[in-house]
Structure 1
């Protein structure tokens, strides 16, 4: 048996060809087409390429936005606005020469599945994954299943309000993302945020930047704390490019322990095992599970 998975992003569509054992045998990427017909034609061409040589058993898709995985609909498709409201599974199936099982899920949930089955979430049934990047993403696994929510908006933790006292209501996207960190660092140093990386911030050991990191990590910890007291997961995993920095996790642990009630609710907080291939690996597990159940 063999499987194909896609990780659809605003810039690239990544794809991976998996053996039934979970081994990633081949992968690649193509620019993401923004015209609807071209988008599905591109996906179908990749499916056909592997199906001709390997007789695929199914296709899994990691997709941005509010996703109704049961029906296969992208209610909102992130930056791919032309695909808002489209039934992704149906539209792709209509482009294929033969019927294949197709599974679809939100990209953060797929990343959480990757960790659940092969990564640092193994052994858990209730798992929360938080990604720090341009915004804040969140994947929810409960009872070993993706939790999408009543209107498929569960896990939008970036919209969590963590400051309502200054300049209006500020969300976690605005205050606790990596983008917020580099923007504040740029303002502190009088440079464009586009020229700043998270690595630059973490390597700057001047007192004012250390204060900046302490403040930012406390905001991230607030997000994590609120998720824990609301959902009571077995573990929180933190992902995104900044999670590769070994200084992040100690900062978050220190910030969490500054919260007085953390000892009453604390769960393990770790970084993710997977990064670039998380969506592909999660989409593989998604389709394999759906196709054989």
Structure 2
């Protein structure tokens, strides 16, 4: 009989869900608003989807924050701070009709990495990292096909790196290398409202406006520093760049050029690609986890 897995990707605004067959074919998918003012309501919303199914083999959950995948506890639940300290798996099970159903949970950035291992651009490697560029800088590290969690499950917080202390003090990669940082830099330089600028707009101008190209190159230097530091630290076979801006074909050559400006890159160079998955990466990473435990 065909196996079925229910997967959730929990975000600050919406919870996306999908039921997958064992070959990753989507049987059904949808989303609902994230309601966390009342924790009981949050878990009831999740359980409602599961309780409508009678033949699930396992549940996989992609969740923000510092997540202990062994126990299901959220030391910190990211933007969903109302759930800090709760055992998310145990809480969900109290609302399930089938309390014996296997449930596994993992940090959302780690799920993005596992999605690439499942059926993306990391299927052929065992050691790799994912760096996501968006509102902030996130990521995950996989060594010997296992996520590196680190002490208190805080590994992979690339966005907190300090990379230019003398010039920017304690400004982190969130402040310097995220897509939001690029948008802010562009808006300040062009004297535009930040809300009127998008990453897509900037990348569209990069080959036609010299000022824009200079700004993008400056920003790409910080992205390259993050990639270089990861390569020096972990020696991955491949580093994948994710986030909406990574879907632009112009990005990878710009980052490669920035890396080649680093004198020692040739000694620590690894394969650099973009992620295959974007909007569904959390769901697919949760699927990978669910398949592993069942």
Measured against the shorter chain, the TM-score band is over 0.9
- CA drift at 1:169: 1.6
Aligned to 2:21: 19
Aligned to 2:216: 213
- CA drift at 1:166: 2.4
- CA drift at 1:202: 1.0
SS in 1 for 2:279: coil
Mapped contact 1:71–1:87 kept (Cα < 8 A): yes
Aligned to 1:60: 60
1:83-162 matches, within 5 Å, as 83-98=83-98, 99-162=100-163
SS in 2 for 1:270: strand
Unaligned runs of 5+ in 2: none
TM-score, normalised to structure 1, is 0.97
Mapped contact 2:133–2:241 kept (Cα < 8 A): yes
- CA drift at 1:129: 0.4
Whole-angstrom CA distance in 1 between matches of 2:264 and 2:27: 46
Mapped contact 1:161–1:171 kept (Cα < 8 A): yes
1:235-246 matches, within 5 Å, as 235-246=238-249
Q: Which moved more, 1:247-256 or 1:158-167?
A: 158-167
Mapped contact 1:228–1:265 kept (Cα < 8 A): yes
Whole-angstrom CA distance in 2 between matches of 1:127 and 1:74: 25
SS in 2 for 1:4: strand
> C-alpha deviations, 1:150-197, integer Å up to 9, x for none?
210000010000110124222100000000000011111111111111
1:275 to 278, 285, 288: 278
Whole-angstrom CA distance in 1 between matches of 2:170 and 2:113: 29
Q: Does 1:258 align with 2:261?
A: yes
Whole-angstrom CA distance in 1 between matches of 2:88 and 2:292: 19
Q: Does 1:226 align with 2:224?
A: no
> C-alpha deviations, 1:203-229, integer Å up to 9, x for none?
123211110000001110000000010
Whole-angstrom CA distance in 1 between matches of 2:193 and 2:110: 33
RMSD over aligned Cα atoms: 0.9
Whole-angstrom CA distance in 1 between matches of 2:192 and 2:73: 42
Aligned to 2:167: 166
TM-score, normalised to structure 2, is 0.96
Mapped contact 2:118–2:284 kept (Cα < 8 A): no
Whole-angstrom CA distance in 2 between matches of 1:163 and 1:175: 9
Deviating beyond 4 angstroms after TM superposition, the runs of 4 or more aligned structure 1 residues are none
Whole-angstrom CA distance in 2 between matches of 1:194 and 1:31: 24
Whole-angstrom CA distance in 1 between matches of 2:26 and 2:147: 22
Whole-angstrom CA distance in 2 between matches of 1:218 and 1:189: 20
SS in 1 for 2:218: helix
Unaligned runs of 5+ in 1: none
Aligned to 1:79: 79
SS in 2 for 1:141: strand
Mapped contact 1:116–1:127 kept (Cα < 8 A): no
Whole-angstrom CA distance in 1 between matches of 2:195 and 2:28: 33
- CA drift at 1:20: 1.3
Aligned to 2:43: 40
- CA drift at 1:11: 0.8
